Amino acid sequence: MTAVTTIETSTAATPARGPRGLLWAMLRLHRWALWFWVLLVAVGAGALLWAYGPGADAAWSEYRTLHCDTNDPGLGCDALGPAYNMYDTAVGIGAGLLGLAPFLTAAWAGAALIGRELEGGTAQLAWTQSVTPARWLAAKLAVPAALLTTGMLVLTLLHRTLWSADGQLRAAMGSRSWYQGTAFEANGIVGISYALLGLAVGVLAGLLQRRALPALGLAVVGLALITTVLGTLRPYLWPLETLTNKHEYPPYIGMVVDEGALTSTGARVGDPICVDDTKCLADHDIVGFYRDYHPSSHFWPLQLVETGIVLAVAALTVVIAFRLLKRRTGAAV
């Protein structure tokens, strides 16, 4: 209810000035969301910076105190110590916020940005104030997209800085690899593109449902489905490399997608688990073993292809949203 009066007074106080007035109305109406986003980015950035500095130092000193780096490591090295756990939690908060942001965006865009306005009738009010529906929707998409990209970029750059600095610590603890979900998304441009997809999906859900709470549910469930499908497809978005070896498996490196045994004709078969039994190997005609994998040099090709797909889906969603709005309002766009 307060939101309605805000719009009215704002357009009255600043006489129609085109996009600037619309931009100002957007920021004013959604100031809580704006502050929340600033707070979220600040928390994520703070956690990552803490992990980068004091967190990593404390984890290292604990590691040395337990003599985990010597030839005679204590049994305590089997479990992670409290300092490393703190470090891991801080990194998890930073990377987790990057992963959570698309879903929060979708929920907010479906409910507060679009659904509530259509439900309460404030959208129809705005369309009578010399703002066409198309320009209204364009502003609703452009302003959050710019703010989302900025915030996600800050978090991604910080995560990359941390990632390039803590390689030794990761190797020592045997934790987190470049291809694992959150790390993969937080180290490249995929995370940013998912946030934009969340915005597009939320906006379309809001236009479809025209009611705040159902739109919230539809947006979150829809985005969850899309991200699950794309996450499953991720290893197949770039040609795999193959290592083969006779007698035993090739080394385990990078993102391993498939492995198995090779027969004398070069056919790929399931491993009969003969281990070193030569008779068993001969019976199954096994002459070698293979592993399909992505080396870390495939990081950027995989990132670029997935980003391309995500942005294409987002663009398609936005086009559908504009079409839908045009058909509904019948206004000249």
Residues of the shown chain interacting with another protein in the complex, contacts defined by CB under 8 A: 32, 74-76, 78-79, 82, 111-112, 116, 212-214, 216, 271-275, 277, 280
The residue among 213 and 312 lying less far from another protein, judged by its C-beta, is: 213
What are the phi and psi torsion angles at 264 (to 5°)?
A: -65, -25
- Smallest distance, another protein to C-beta of residue 227, A: 16
Q: How far is the CB of 270 from another protein (least distance, A)?
A: 8
d(CA 327, CA 137): 14
Q: Which is nearer to another protein, 83 or 314 (CB)?
A: 83
Quick check: helix, strand or coil at residue 119? Answer: helix
The first and second tokens of residue 237, run together, are 């978005």
Pick the closer one to another protein by CB: 34 or 274. 274
CB of 119 to another protein, least distance (A): 9
Contact residues for 109 (Cβ-Cβ < 8 A; gap 6+) = 144, 198, 199, 201, 202, 203, 205, 206, 219
DSSP 21-49: HHHHHHHHHTHHHHHHHHHHHHHHHHHHH
Nearest to 191 by CA among 158, 153, 221: 153
Least CB distance from residue 90 to another protein, whole Å? 14
What is the Cα–Cα distance from 195 to 119, expressed in whole angstroms? 25
CB of 85 to another protein, least distance (A): 10
Closer to another protein by Cβ: residue 1 or 171: 1
| CA pseudo-torsion sign 44, 45, 48, 51 | negative
Cβ at position 163, least distance to another protein in Å = 24
How many angstroms separate the most distant Cα atoms in the chain? 89
CA angle, residues 324, 216, 95, in degrees to nearest 5: 115
CB nearer to another protein: give 12 or 273.
Answer: 273
Residue with smaller CB distance to another protein, 171 or 273: 273
CA distance 134 to 236: 38
Nearer to another protein, 113 or 310 (CB): 113
In the complex, the smallest distance separating the C-beta of residue 215 from another protein, rounded to whole angstroms, is 10
- Walk across the sheet containing 268-269 and list its strands: 241-245, 286-294, 255-263, 268-269
